[in-house]
A and B are shown apart, each in its own frame.
Chain A
Amino acid sequence: MELPKFYTDLVNAVVSRAAVFVILSSVGLVLAMKYYRVLTKPKVAGPIGLGAAFLLFISFFDPQFKTVATLPDNVPIIMMVASVTFFVWVAFRQMALNDERLEKGLPPKEAEAGEVQKTFVWPDLVYIEFICLILFTVFLTVWSIALKAPLEQPANPAKTPNPSKAPWYFLGLQEMLVYFDPWIAGVLLPTMIITGLMMLPYIDKNPKGNGYYTFKERKFAISIFMYGFVVAWVLLIFMGTFLRGPNWNFFGPYEPWDIHKLEPLTNVNLSEIIYLQVLGVGMPRNWFIREIWGILLVLGYFVAMPGLLARFVPMFREFYKQLGMIRYSVFIVHLLVMGGMLIKMLLRWTINLKYLVGIPEYFFNI
């Protein structure tokens, strides 16, 4: 069987650019969070899930998709995406139910009298844990029987595979390499992910929502987390695995990976836009003068923006009050970096911006 051409063409056309894919997904996430109460209802979520499963199933009839999706190392990614989706639904479904209860003035389900009551670990917990482990072992064994671990040619420093990809869980970072220098994508961002996660308990001062599922009471925290985890992490991994082909070019899911596919190389630095395109003069020879605009812009973003936010945006004013100067600064820098990621990607897609600040003399590019 072959997939109808109009369908593959349509999907390829929509998903054939990273910009469209990421923006659509982001919009999808925002919409999903806005309408989570309706969407998580089994009657709604069920058909959506089945539909997605169906699309996945028919996609296997496409030779290109099948080739990539059945690579042994890519199978866990499909599992990961599926399980993340499923558990997001599980969580949001419980949030929706709890939020309804909270609106009615009831305690969340987890705080019901019967639930709060303690019960013996033996046999309930021990038993289900044990069954869980057995079933998981079965799953792992069958998986291992069905799929051989991959083994390619012996390591050869002279032969670079195309595309050469990092292990799948780092593909989000590898995707960032398209937009940022390695020191940002490979060092700064991962570090900030870790520090961001670690500082989380100390800046989330919201006392509500501790120990039970709720969206209503922690909209901001959960939105940021969902964006960071689902879009900036899981989605980019998915993209890096299935949509990035030879030469790290972007391919639709059903588009054959042609090693000769070319993309026009028209990325420019901010300084080039200013000096060459707007002012029409040559590039200044001094790097500082050349990059001053970008430096100002970046400094403005990280220095002026926090203050402006704290001054003029009520929500941030509240944060500032709650957290104090230092915590607020740490928090806002992390938040701005996260936002900056998206902004840089958008700039790349819209005006082919390469670097805001480009000082290759010192390997310093932003």
Chain B
Amino acid sequence: MQSVLKYGLVLALSAALVTGCDGKKDAGGGPSGGGGGGEAPPPDNTVEVLPDAATAGTITITAKLKGAAPAMAPIDMTDAECAAAHVDTPALDESVVAGSGGTLQNVMVWVDKGLDAKYVFKAPSAPARIDQNGCVYKPHVISMMAKQALEVKNSDGVRHNIHATAKVNAEFNFSQDPKKTDTLTTASKAKTFVVGEVPIKVKCDVHGWMGAWVGVFKHPFHGVTGGDGTVTLKGVPPGSYTLKVWHEKYGTKEVQVTLKDKGAESVTVEFGE
């Protein structure tokens, strides 16, 4: 019994510690992180130090794919209910998704070095979203800020478990009932990511093919390429930066960018074997 007490205490404590609040239950209920008694996220008292909007510029990164894109293999879904969702169009493996005009989708871009340490950013109030739809994560790659809430949605009629194999942040792996949405905050039982870490693989242990990637950052200068293969980082203060460009299959590349006052820089990064 001792061990039960012990572990119970740890769970309560870790919640209390991270939030710093006294553990009052959120009376409002509503969608709660990790299922079960969620707690109101603590008020974010962070005092923001933002770059001067007058001098800030933009950086546009375009990810290109060398040569022809490999064909996306269809996924063999062993779960009948999952398979049922893809009767018309088979689900495809999204590890390499080509965009329009030789560009590459699902490429994560972020400012890695060069950002002045004095800046402090608040996480946006809107949560980052990830949806389990047809036993596939949508989107396949997301980037978010540390302490930003994470909304995990299960649009399927089957139970999923969502397992974030974080190494620096707290790992979570909770079971999610069909047609349910959980919002993970810094206070919920399964916590959203609170420190920078990239990439975090998210998977479902029931459905081995399901996989998504999350990047967590301390600042807002990050993004994932969409169909046009570009990401635009806005409001970046002038300076010299090292950007990192990551793709699940092709790895990480570094780009140097120097941004002038109100400048606008464009960079193209090429991936491929």
A–B contact via C-beta, under 8 angstroms: no
Instruction: List chain B positions with a Cβ less than 8 A from chain A.
Output: none
